[in-house]
């Protein structure tokens, strides 16, 4: 039986041929295809300025710098995310201040945010886990009240919406990923959606070593930038992917609906929020009822693999990594996040999946958990 991965990109032959054209052109790093991709993204996000980057992490690094965040500052975020969310704050010399997650949405619990605010707080840094948006109305209400910047880790949110508006088409700084496992991909890559044109010059300098070039061939550097530029090869993949985004996400929604229809609720797994208006269904994640099971999560993943089914863990609670424990974090600090990080498993979900693939995953999950039940 063919192995079913937890995700796989869908790249058509026209895109593959387009990448070959870029390779033959001789211009394979940042060039005309990047500009074309940025223009297409800007149109998608309602005309907002967008800069393509080598990763969403690069977008968050630049966003932190655009906000002027540095040593002595604090940024409020969630412990359930890819570790990049906290790392970019640490790398700026600032402190990530974690707030526990809502046990249903698995996103940052906005009811707890104001209690975490101190005189050193400079920004809010929410994460949309699995593409399910954080409540943007409440988020920006809190930010406006306290005059905070907002850096949206919307890495997983391409095509998600909030009350009918596309994530990225409004708000402050929005970082989105086009990694290989995202709803559309450039292989590796991402973009940063900017609040206005005034942020573009500094963003562009930070994207590529702080360099400003002049028509006479001279250049100047007045800020220590990094190297976050996207290649034309990657941009050409993105240009082939973007027109299919709605189609891909519609298929993901259909597959998620089938999961909800077929999943055995008697197993005791906690399913994701059943949201078909806002989320792009980047991932379908369940919490295993480990307290009822004689096996570990690792055993469950291994048993799935033996049945030809891939899965993933997204994500362990960040504050329990050694790096963050050394900053004073500890077990029991954020109980909801710790439970999510301990029990969550990502099941297969990607646009090219068939209905019968979902059936197979549900059947295997049920068989494994029932056989392991205490």
Domains of the chain: 13-243 (3.40.640.10), 244-372 (3.90.1150.10)
> Does the pLDDT of residue 368 top 90, yes or no?
yes
And the tokens for 211?
């360099």
pLDDT value at residue 228: 98
Report whether 167 contacts 157 (CB < 8 A): yes
pLDDT value at residue 352: 98
Over residues 84-109, the pLDDT tens digits come to 999 999 999 999 999 999 999 999 99
Sign of CA dihedral 179, 46, 35, 199: negative
* 3-class DSSP assignment, residue 238: helix
> Does the pLDDT of residue 365 top 90, yes or no?
yes
The CB density around residue 250, as the number of other CB atoms within 10 Å, is: 13
> Does the pLDDT of residue 1 top 90, yes or no?
no
What is the band of 374 on the pLDDT scale with cuts at 50, 70, 90?
confident
Distance CA 318, CA 83 (A): 6
Rg (CA), the chain: 21
Distance CA 171, CA 168 (A): 7
User: Looking at the DSSP assignment, which residues form a beta bridge with residue 285?
Assistant: 346
- Which string of DSSP letters, residue by residue, matches 337-359? HHHHHHHEEEEP--TT--HHHHH
pLDDT value at residue 83: 98
> 238 Cβ partners below 8 Å, 6+ apart?
37, 40, 41, 52, 178, 184, 185, 186, 189
Q: What would the mean pLDDT of 259-280 be, rounded to a whole number?
A: 98
> Does the pLDDT of residue 294 top 90, yes or no?
yes
DSSP state of 326: T
Give pTM, 2 decimals. 0.97
Distance CA 334, CA 115 (A): 14
Q: What would the mean pLDDT of 106-126 be, rounded to a whole number?
A: 98
What is the band of 122 on the pLDDT scale with cuts at 50, 70, 90?
very high
**What mean pLDDT is reported for the chain?**
98
What is the distance between the terminal CA atoms of the chain, rounded to a whole angstrom?
Answer: 30
pLDDT value at residue 12: 98
Distance CA 83, CA 127 (A): 11
Over residues 232-258, the pLDDT tens digits come to 999 999 999 999 999 999 999 999 999
Q: Torsions phi, psi of 227, nearest 5? A: -130, 95
What is the band of 372 on the pLDDT scale with cuts at 50, 70, 90?
very high
User: Looking at the DSSP assignment, which residues form a beta bridge with residue 138?
Assistant: none
The catalytic position among 145, 147, 182, 257 is 182
Rounded-to-10 torsion of CA 164, 168, 173, 177: 130
Is 227 catalytic? The answer is: no
Over residues 193-206, the pLDDT tens digits come to 999 999 999 999 99
pLDDT value at residue 198: 98
């Amino acid at each position: 039986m063919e192995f079913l991965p937890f995700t796989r990109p869908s790249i058509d032959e026209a895109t593959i041929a387009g990448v070959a054209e870029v390779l033959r052109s001789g211009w394979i790093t940042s060039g005309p295809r990047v500009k074309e991709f940025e223009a297409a993204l800007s149109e998608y996000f309602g005309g907002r300025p967008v800069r393509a980057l080598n990763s969403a992490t690069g977008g968050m690094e630049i966003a932190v710098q655009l906000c002027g965040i540095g040593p002595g500052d604090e940024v409020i975020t969630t412990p359930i995310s890819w570790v990049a969310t906290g790392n970019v704050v640490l790398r700026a010399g600032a402190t990530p201040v974690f707030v526990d997650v809502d046990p249903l949405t698995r996103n940052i619990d906005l009811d707890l945010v104001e209690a975490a605010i101190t005189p050193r707080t400079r920004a809010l840094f929410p994460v949309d886990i699995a593409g399910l948006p954080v409540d943007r109305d409440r988020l920006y209400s809190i930010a406006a009240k306290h005059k905070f910047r907002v850096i949206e880790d919307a890495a997983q949110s391409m095509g998600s919406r909030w009350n009918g508006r596309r994530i990225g088409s409004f708000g402050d700084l929005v970082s989105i990923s086009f990694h290989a496992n995202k709803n559309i991909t450039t292989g590796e890559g991402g973009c940063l959606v900017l609040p206005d044109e005034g942020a573009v010059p500094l963003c562009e300098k930070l994207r590529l070593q702080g360099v400003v070039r002049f028509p006479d061939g001279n250049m100047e550097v007045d800020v220590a930038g990094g190297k976050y530029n996207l290649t034309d090869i990657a941009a050409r993949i993105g240009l082939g992917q973007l027109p299919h985004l709605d189609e891909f996400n519609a298929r993901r929604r259909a597959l998620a609906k089938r999961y909800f229809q077929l999943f055995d609720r008697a197993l005791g797994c906690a399913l994701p929020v059943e949201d078909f208006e806002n989320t792009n269904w980047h991932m379908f994640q369940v919490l295993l009822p480990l307290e009822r099971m004689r096996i570990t999560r690792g055993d469950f993943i291994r048993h799935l693999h033996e049945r030809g089914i891939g899965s993933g863990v997204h994500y362990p609670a960040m504050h329990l990594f050694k790096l963050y424990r050394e900053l004073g974090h500890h077990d029991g600090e954020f109980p909801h996040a710790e439970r999510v990080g301990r029990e969550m498993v990502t099941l297969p979900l990607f646009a090219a999946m068939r209905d019968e693939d979902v059936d197979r995953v549900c059947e295997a999950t049920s068989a494994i958990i029932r056989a392991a039940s205490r």
